[in-house]
Amino acid sequence: MDEDVLSKRKLLLLSVTIVVIFLMVSSVFLTSFLTQEDSGNDGTEEEDKTDWTNYPYVIPGTDMEFPDEEGLYPKGETWISLGLRLDFEAPDKERTYINFLYHEYYKDVFVSNSEETVNYRLQGKRQLSIGKMNMSFNNLELPRDILKFQEGESFQYDLKAFFKSEDKITYELDLELISKKPPATMFDGEVQIDSDYYRLHALTRCEVNGEVKIGSDNYEVSGLGWIENQRGSFKGMKWDWFAFWDDSNIEMEIVNLSSSGKNIRYAMHVAKDGELKTIDDLNIEVTSSKNGFGYSWEISSDQYDVDLNVTCIKDRMVYSMSFAAGFGRAKGTVRGKSIDTITYIELKSD
């Protein structure tokens, strides 16, 4: 083989090698470019909206996205319930339940143990009272002044609150709330009854730690909390609402909504792993009344094997003209499991 032919073959082999390398590089570049185009960004990693521990998060099956504003809606009225079940690291202090209630015109705190329930009015229009509503006003605003998002964290909050009764007993709270389960909702986040609408999401189990000062005494506390955010028009809407924890790490909320002569009943059962079950075959029967509101109920579901009696605890409810709130007891069974626990109750007439 002469030298000229050998040189031509070497040149051809080199050319083929260069072409192959070029095609490989082009393929990698094209794949990367198309991947970026498909992801809808400029090379940055697409946001994962399925991980509830990091913003942004969207509740599956809904349009409820939680950026730093945590899903607060721009229209309608807001009702927020913030419940605490606190155990004191002191042998002489018993378990205490505290519930904050926020509305544009109605802001309250309820404090309850085995002895009594006391209502601390925070700020708003004083309404005609039937129960224990003889507490003083305080210039406290809920929730934005006391419940702060922890910067850079998802569903974690700092709660700082101060309130006192007319007999000068003061409570000062400095607590951290960390949600242990993703936000939960029903009906894809919204209920529509004619012109009325109702949106809801709830953090049903928050781990609570911090300090509570009662009078001049400081206590370390731990316990559970929930945050319930309701928003809607509420014109002519009334409801019976119950929420409780189970010590086996299960939560349940039950709602009986009525508007324009129509009625919707449902329950939300949140399992240990955060799995949400919506119960839509509820039967809710008022078995006794007091002050124009229901006082005890029989609640059942064949679908979910629910058989509960809920009864307000005497002197643990406070009443206004069209609203009542406080504590009761839920007894019975859920899915064959025995239940006997404190429940928070909200009642609204039209």
Residue of 201, 308, 301, 289 whose CA lies nearest to 244: 308
How far is it, in rounded angstroms, from Cα 21 to Cα 28? 11
How far is it, in rounded angstroms, from Cα 323 to Cα 317? 11
CATH no. for residue 121?
2.40.370.10
In a shared domain, residues 288 and 167: yes
In a shared domain, residues 160 and 200: yes
Domain of 3, in residue numbers:
1-46
Asked whether residue 300 is assigned to any structural domain, the reply reads yes
How far is it, in rounded angstroms, from Cα 67 to Cα 269? 25
How far is it, in rounded angstroms, from Cα 285 to Cα 301? 12
Dump pLDDT digits (tens) for 201-253: 899 999 999 999 988 999 999 999 998 888 777 777 888 999 998 888 889 99
Segment among 43-52, 173-182, 268-277 with least mean pLDDT = 43-52
Pick the last residue of a domain from 9, 27, 46: 46
In a shared domain, residues 169 and 249: yes
Asked whether residue 51 is assigned to any structural domain, the reply reads no
In a shared domain, residues 242 and 177: yes
Dump pLDDT digits (tens) for 48-76: 888 998 888 888 888 888 875 555 555 67
Report DSSP letters for 126-167, one per residue: ----SSS--PPP----TTTTTEEEPTT-SSEEEEEEEEE-TT
Asked whether residue 157 is assigned to any structural domain, the reply reads yes
Dump pLDDT digits (tens) for 315-331: 777 777 778 888 899 99
Asked whether residue 198 is assigned to any structural domain, the reply reads yes
How far is it, in rounded angstroms, from Cα 335 to Cα 255? 18
In a shared domain, residues 1 and 107: no
In a shared domain, residues 92 and 34: no
From the CA atom positions of the chain, what is the Rg in Å?
28
How far is it, in rounded angstroms, from Cα 67 to Cα 42? 21
Q: Please give the distance of CA 246 from its chain centroid, rounded to a whole number.
A: 16
In a shared domain, residues 245 and 201: yes
Determine the 3-state secondary structure of 29 from DSSP: helix
In a shared domain, residues 166 and 35: no
In a shared domain, residues 3 and 94: no
Mention every residue, 6+ apart, whose C-beta is less than 8 A from residue 79: 101, 102, 103, 229, 230, 231, 234
Reduced to 3 DSSP states, what percent helix, strand and coil does the chain have, rounded to the nearest 5?
10, 55, 35
- 124: region left, alpha or beta (phi > 0 left; psi from -120 to 50 alpha): left
Tell me the pTM: 0.77
In a shared domain, residues 61 and 26: no
Question: Quick check: 284 and 240 in contact, CB under 8 A?
Answer: yes
Determine the 3-state secondary structure of 291 from DSSP: coil
In a shared domain, residues 82 and 165: yes
Asked whether residue 134 is assigned to any structural domain, the reply reads yes
**Mean pLDDT value of segment 279-304:** 93
